[in-house]
């Protein structure tokens, strides 16, 4: 796990290399063009790019001015399978959010000896930075407006106003995030979003690549996993607080997302080196 900071003179390059980590590259000033397995990724000042392990990459920095960038590298061994799956689907480049900027500033402010003096601190901060990037990417996809232009689509012909759809999706996501323990079904969630059940399914598939109800259980499972790691509540208590019908239902979802049972997930989190 590394947080770093570097300034390149005009015309600087980096690579070619095979990326070993999940690396977040933040452009403070200047610009960067990265060739990633033959595909160009451009990062401008105020943006952050995500580079994934195993990919061959070569960076070319601004030809006319200095380029200042910071980075955060997270080793793949620290990234759970569920997080790795989200990273694989994430955008290559995003604007830097205020929360992401704060996490980077905190990571860069740590002394080099922080990893030795406080084991786990740098790793946790790096994972939080990666998660913030993924969260920002998911929110951006959920709120972006569909492309306009050309002939009217089926939704417009039927009287559906496409620009309002991201607002409906946002309402659904906000409800899921704030009412995590309440029983819900597709019709009730659609009412909260202000659209029909069929339209809500369409929105989730288009913007998040999943269904509304599956997203509900994934969010509740991640919340439950956090409680398992950070509290002494029993598996049954965690399941109840996160809105699952039974501990078995919760356990099945934990196994699907994390590959292990709730008790094993907790044991791994609590295990001492």
pLDDT digits (tens, 9 = 90+) for 23-58: 999 999 999 999 999 999 999 999 999 999 999 999
User: 49 has which bridge partners?
Assistant: 25, 93
Mean pLDDT of 171-177: 80
The answer to whether residues 142 and 176 touch, using CB atoms and an 8 Å cutoff, is no
Query: What is the pLDDT, as a whole number, of residue 119?
Result: 57
Do β-strands 67-74 and 2-8 pair in parallel, antiparallel, or remain unpaired?
Answer: antiparallel
- Which residue carries 């595909």 as its tokens? 39
Query: What class, spelled out in words, does domain 2-142 have in CATH?
Result: mainly beta
Is the model's pLDDT at 236 over the cut of 80? yes
Is the model's pLDDT at 219 over the cut of 80? yes
Provide the whole-model pTM.
0.55
**CA 209/CA 91 separation, integer angstroms:** 13
**CA 205/CA 19 separation, integer angstroms:** 31
Nearest CA to 128 out of 150, 153, 107 is that of 107
Sign of CA dihedral 90, 96, 102, 105: positive
Q: How many CB atoms lie within 10 A of CB 11?
A: 12
H/E stretch holding 192: helix 186-193
Grade residue 230 by pLDDT with cuts at 50, 70 and 90: confident
Query: What is the pLDDT, as a whole number, of residue 3?
Result: 87
Mean pLDDT of 58-69: 91
Give residue limits of the domains in the chain. 2-142, 161-273
Nearest CA to 174 out of 146, 215, 133 is that of 215
**CA 254/CA 257 separation, integer angstroms:** 5
Query: What is the pLDDT, as a whole number, of residue 162?
Result: 39
**Tell me, which fold does domain 161-273 have in CATH?**
Arc Repressor Mutant, subunit A (1.10.10)
């Amino acid at each position: 796990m590394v947080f770093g900071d570097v300034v390149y003179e005009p015309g600087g390059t980096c690579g070619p290399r095979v990326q070993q980590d999940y690396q977040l590259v933040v452009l403070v000033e200047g610009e960067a063009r990265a060739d990633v397995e033959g595909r160009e990724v451009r990062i401008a000042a105020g943006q952050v790019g995500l580079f994934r392990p195993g990919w061959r990459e070569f960076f070319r920095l601004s030809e006319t001015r200095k380029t200042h960038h910071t980075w955060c590298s997270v080793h793949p061994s620290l990234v759970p399978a569920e997080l790795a799956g989200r990273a694989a689907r994430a955008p290559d480049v995003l604007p830097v959010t205020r929360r992401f900027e704060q996490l980077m500033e905190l990571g860069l402010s740590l002394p080099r000896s922080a990893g030795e003096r406080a084991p786990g601190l740098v790793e946790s901060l790096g994972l939080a930075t990666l998660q913030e990037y993924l969260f920002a990417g998911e929110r951006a996809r959920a709120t972006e407006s569909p492309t306009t232009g050309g002939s009217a689509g089926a939704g417009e012909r039927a009287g559906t106003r496409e620009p309002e759809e991201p607002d409906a999706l946002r309402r659904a996501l906000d409800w899921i995030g704030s009412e995590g323990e309440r029983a819900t079904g597709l019709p009730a969630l659609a009412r909260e979003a202000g659209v029909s059940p069929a339209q809500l399914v369409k929105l989730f598939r288009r913007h998040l690549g999943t269904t509304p109800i599956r997203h509900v259980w994934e969010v509740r499972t991640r919340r439950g996993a956090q409680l398992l790691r950070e509290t002494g509540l029993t598996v049954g208590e965690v399941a109840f607080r996160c809105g699952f019908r039974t501990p078995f239902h919760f356990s099945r979802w934990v196994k699907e997302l994390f590959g292990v049972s709730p008790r094993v997930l907790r044991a791994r989190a609590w295990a001492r080196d």
